[in-house]
Amino acid sequence: MSAFSLAEQAASQQLAAYNERDIEAFLLCYVDDIELCDLISGEVFCKGIFEMRAIYGAMFNRCPDLHCKLVKRIICGNIAIDEEHVSGQVPGKITHATAIYEVNDAGLIKKAWFVRGT
């Protein structure tokens, strides 16, 4: 499978699992030593699949109306860039966000960067 297809597939699978709040399916999209970073500050806010399980598992349980709407996706080689509208974290608030996923040759997300707007 081409890198283009792998990046598209990985981004789509993790988004579907996120919207289902299915922590097991969600984590299957990532490598064990995943790093999640804030693109602006460069801060790594999550390192490793166990920390990711704790962060996202708690959010999935706490936010039953959590939903991420894909506004636009750009694929460039092994990179997927998603513009998103996220709702359900705070009642009545939609957050504009950008996620950048770097995908390895096995089709797993190996690093991700996020920008959160208002």
> How do residues 78-94 score in pLDDT, each as one tens digit?
999 999 999 999 989 99
Tell me the whole-structure pTM to 2 decimals.
0.93
What pLDDT, in 10s, does the model give residues 46-76? 999 999 999 999 999 999 999 999 999 999 9
The domain segmentation of the chain, as residue ranges, is 3-116
Residue 70: what pLDDT? 98
pLDDT at 38 > cutoff 90: yes
Give the ranges where 3-118 is alpha helix by DSSP (H). Answer: 3-20, 23-27, 49-62
Question: Sign of the C-alpha dihedral, residues 44, 49, 54, 55?
Answer: positive
pLDDT surpasses 90 at 117: no
pLDDT of residue 2: 55
Place of tokens 């299915």: 22
3 state DSSP class of 109: strand
- At the top level of CATH, the class of 3-116 is alpha beta
Pairing state of beta strands 30-38 and 109-116? parallel
Closest CA to 100 of 77, 87, 83: 83
